[in-house]
Structure 1
Amino acid sequence: MENPGFEMQEEKIQSSSNMKEQTKQEVPERKSHWSLMNIFLVCLLACFISTIIGVLIISSVYIKNIGFLTQLNMQKHEITSPKTPITMSDKKRVDVKFQFLNHLGKSKGSAWIGVVDAGGSIVTTYNVTAGQVIFFPKNTLHWVKNVGEDDCLFLLFFTTHEELQTLDVDDVFFSTPEDIAARSLKPQGGVNFIRTFKKQTEDQAINLPPNLVELVQNASYVQSPDKLVWRYFYNLKDSTEFKLSGGVIQWARFRKNGVGLNDNEKIFSESLQMHENSLTLATIRIYSNGLRQPHFHFNANEMGYVISGCGKVGIIVSSKITTDFDIGIGDVVFFPIGTQHYIKSTCDEDLLMILAFSTGNQLQTLDMDDYFHATADHILAQLFFKKQEEFKKIPRFSEDQAINLPQQQNLIAKNN
């Protein structure tokens, strides 16, 4: 049975259903359409952002490079063109020891020395420069003042193995009661004047007051007569050179009857003998690869200080105690009396040392080749279990071999 109302409702339902299906079909199409647009926009935006980031990165790198190059140029400028010139105070930061020691004899340092004899009746003053020897007898009051533009460096040797005891003038003064000092010196103002002296907090053994110019004006120094000066002074660097095949020795020492000494050197020699516990000084230059052969001293301990070069030292105390070690600039060596020792130069440059011997008498030394030659062949043969004629292979030389070069090198040096 047909029902128009039902048919109309059905049409509406079908119509509505058809519209829904149409809508369903259209919606996916729209979604697909907007998704492509979104992807396009996102890609476009990403490209834009990437471009901006790339530009920023390139700009940042460029700016950093400019800054680095600018800084590098500034550093180069500072290196090649320092803002402030190097001054003498900057140069003095370098260890002056090595500046001086490597140029011994060329230093511009200059100092005045004063020595006060017993009773204070004689004061000896004299000027010294590099390479010269100063001798102060035990218990002799003395002073040293640098008067040059450069620092003065002194190598000091003392004739004692005990703790050194030294007394300075200011220490004596401030340790003396005020009334005793006033009665002894009798200054104007008496004790009140003595009380004006103030003891410094720092040791004044070596001093340089900040107001020195204000304190000292018109200081004058006068060289004493030679007969006084040469009792305490010896010009070692200009003394006689004892040339050997492997080096050179110069001496400041006592010589019996003044053999080989000039008039002024004789005064010094005699002065050494007059005082107890004097020293003999020497400089020794050992050529490269040269050897100061094994030897020992009968009457003195020996101490040495390396000025330049380097070397190897060997010490033979007994059959069971031997040692060797390397030495270089600034090193000190000590050889007890009667100890056999040798020194060899091991650098390309000469080994230069200052030696001090604990004697004011003529130094007595015995070298290895000397005591071999002085010992009869039959004694050596029996001692070393070698045939007597074997010891004829040890040659005798007309020149002293105390410092020598290897035989082949020595022949080359002679030919040149």
Structure 2
Amino acid sequence: MDNSAFEIHEDGAQNTRSVGKISTISRMEKKKPWSLMKIFLMCLLACFITTAIGVLIVSLVYVNSQPRLNVQLQPAWSTRTTAVLNVQKAVDPKFQFLNHLPKSKVFEFPGGAIQWARYRNNIKDYVSDEEEAFGTSLNSQRSQMTLGTLRIKSKGLRAPHWHFNANEHGYLVQGTAWIGVVDDGGEVATTYNVTAGQVIFFPKNTLHWVKNVGNEDCFFLLFFSTHDELQTLDVDDVFFSTPEDIASRSLKPEGGVNFIRKFHKQTEDQGINLPHNLAELVMNASYVQSPDNLVWRYFFDLKGSKEYRFPGGVIQMAHYLKNGNELSNNEKIFSEFLNEHENALSLSTLRIYNNGLRQPHFHFNANEMGYVLSGCGKVGIISTQGTVEFNIHIGDVIFFPIGTQHYIKSTCDEDLLFILAFSTRDKLQTLDMDDYIQATADHILAQLFLRKQSEFKKIPKFKEDQAINLP
């Protein structure tokens, strides 16, 4: 290198390292036997430690790489418990056909209350396993039926609303109400008054309201032509969901958008509305009645209609009749309007005298749903699995799928009274047990029951219809 000073220093260092190296070698040579033993022992210890660590690492990697088998590794009692939890509770088969509506959840509003016998999309919305069984039955049978009770306090209002997926048929059990229906385009608002025993009808997607104009509560039974979750929209909900500028441009009120901003959505659902300061808000309300040709499309006087009498009871019907000779001119308006709407229902009242029997029968073209208005009784469902029998009382709801043979017996001192709905807009087609036995040839019955043909002559044929009979 050019720097001689550096070269001198490097040589000195090399000389020093050489001396040190010789000195170290000399010391190692003197202690060589002991150093080899230590080295051997240290290597042996290192090998042992390394092997132990290696085994531990391999074990950890192996365990972590295996699939999780928690279910198989659980003790037997744990597996059995899990299996039990996954099995649904056993429910009495009668609840496919029976709903104890008074035990269901009450939906409270400022002006009244609603209860439901219906299908729910979310099973958590059912109050009980029995209620779930009934709702599931309605849906699985594609019943086109839902039932609700509507109670409106005096001066209360069922807010203007419409249903997306169902026609609505109502029967007023108690009270006096003023009804409003807004026709296509809003050009005509049909209004009319109803009293107990009368029927109202609202086609799907028709805006309507119900106002209690009496001093007592109004109590309605409402049937809807859907087996799915009922979809309803109230006018106030629409209003508050609409942007302010859109509502202002649509309604064009005095004051424009500032007028719209004066409205505030209430914390409590106003589905059935009754403000505490109603007297300050409303002055000289008018409850006018529209002309008959408009009213009778949405209204039917069931209590004033023809009575079909039997030995054991009475039936009255609000339904479509192809041959309307039995109907008044106003009833024909209802009948024809009903038949224009797909999935409309037919309503009727069924009164069974004490100890009377609505004999075994079935319907060709409709599911049936009923509500017990008064009395008590026994119901029987006859199917390929046998007969299911159960008792019924006021407020109970029953359901009979299409083609299901069933019977109803009155077991109280008072009459058993139903309001019934059928999932057809056409004439109801029904076959009673005595009718199909009488219509079957004697020799066919003899062969079937292994009895002499002459024995079937003992079954009388009555001049009077025995659909509801007495012993």
TM-score by length of 2: 0.63
Match of 1:161 in 2: 227
Q: Following the alignment from structure 1 to structure 2, what is the Cα–Cα distance between the partners of residues 106 and 140?
A: 23
| Structure 2: segments with no counterpart, 5+ residues | 1-149, 152-170
- How much does 1:301 deviate? 0.7
Letter in 2 for 1:359: T
Equivalent position of 2:238 in the other structure? 172
Shift of 1:388: 1.3
Query: After superposition, what is the alpha-carbon deviation per residue over 1:28-73, rounded to whole angstroms, capped at 9, x for unaligned?
Result: xxxxxxxxxxxxxxxxxxxxxxxxxxxxxxxxxxxxxxxxxxxxxx
The match for 2:307 is: 241
Alignment correspondent of 1:330: 395
2:278 counterpart letter in structure 1:
L
RMSD over aligned Cα atoms? 1.6
Counterpart position of 1:231: 297
| Residue 259 of structure 1: how far off its partner (Å) | 3.0
SS at 1:167 equivalent: strand
Choose the corresponding residue for 2:367, options 295, 301, 316.
301
* Number of the residue aligned with 1:369: 434
Paired with 1:189 and 1:322, the residues of 2 have a C-alpha distance of: 68
Query: Which structure has the larger Rg?
Result: 1
SS where residue 202 of structure 2 aligns? coil
Is residue 315–residue 340 contact of structure 1 (8 Å, CA) maintained in 2?
A: yes
1:317 shift after superposition: 2.5
User: 1:342-353 maps to which residues of 2 (within 5 A)?
Assistant: 342-353=407-418
Give the count of matched residue pairs.
Answer: 303
The one-letter code matched in structure 2 to 1:148 is: G
User: Who is 1:389 aligned against?
Assistant: 454
Using the TM superposition, give the Cα deviation of residue 106 of structure 1 relative to its aligned residue in structure 2, in angstroms. Answer: 9.3
1:357 corresponds to which of 422, 440, 450: 422
Q: 1:279 touches 1:356 (CA, 8 Å); kept in 2?
A: yes
Bigger fraction of residues in helix = 1
Q: 3-state SS of the aligned residue for 1:155?
A: strand
Aligned partners of 2:260 and 2:180: how far apart in 1? 25
Equivalent residue, structure 2, for 1:414: none
Q: Which one has a larger percent strand, Structure 1 or Structure 2? A: 2
Distance in 2 (alpha carbons) for counterparts of 1:113 and 1:354: 21
Which stretches of structure 1, 4 residues or longer, exceed 4 Å deviation after superposition? Answer: 104-107
Q: Which amino acid aligns with 2:217?
A: D
Residues 217-228 of structure 1: pairs in structure 2 closer than 5 A: 217-228=283-294
Residue 286 of structure 2 is aligned to residue 186 of structure 1: no
In 1: Cα distance, 2:401 partner to 2:241 partner: 38
Please give the residue correspondences for 1:45-124 in structure 2 after superposition, counting only pairs within 5 Å.
107=174, 109-124=175-190
C-alpha contact (below 8 Å) 1:138/1:276 kept by paired residues:
no
State the Cα distance separating 1:105 from its structure 2 match.
9.2
Counterpart AA for 2:300:
Y
Deviation, structure 1 residue 120? 0.6
- Alpha carbons 2:172, 2:220 under 8 Å: kept: no
Residue in structure 1 matched with residue 346 of structure 2 by the alignment: 280
TM-score normalised to structure 1 length: 0.71
Determine if contact 1:292/1:403 at 8 Å carries over to the other structure. yes
Q: Secondary structure at the match of 2:232?
A: coil
Return the alpha-carbon distance in structure 1 between the equivalents of residues 244 and 317 of structure 2. Answer: 48
Query: Is 2:332 the counterpart of 1:260?
Result: no
User: What displacement does 1:257 show?
Assistant: 2.1
Q: Give identity over the alignment, percent.
A: 77
SS at match of 1:359: coil
Q: Separation in 2 of the partners of 1:303 and 1:404?
A: 21
Instruction: Report how far residue 321 of structure 1 moved.
Output: 3.9
Q: Does 1:208 align with 2:307?
A: no
For structure 1, the residue ranges without an aligned partner over 5 or more in a row are 1-95, 98-103, 407-416
Q: Secondary structure at the match of 2:250?
A: helix
Amino acid at match of 1:326: N
1:192 Cα offset (Å):
1.3
| AA partner of residue 192 (structure 1) | N
Amino acid in structure 2 at the alignment position of 1:113: I
2-side partners of 1:248 and 1:330: how far apart?
20
8 Å CA contact 1:105, 1:237 repeated in 2: no
Alpha-carbon distance in structure 2 between the residues aligned to 1:255 and 1:106: 25
Shift of 1:322: 2.3
Amino acid at match of 2:312: G
Q: Structure 2: how far apart are the matches of 1:389 and 1:213? A: 77
Distance 1:270 1:133 in 2: 15
C-alpha separation in 1, matches of 2:277 and 2:413: 48
8 Å CA contact 2:347–2:420 kept in 1: the answer is: yes
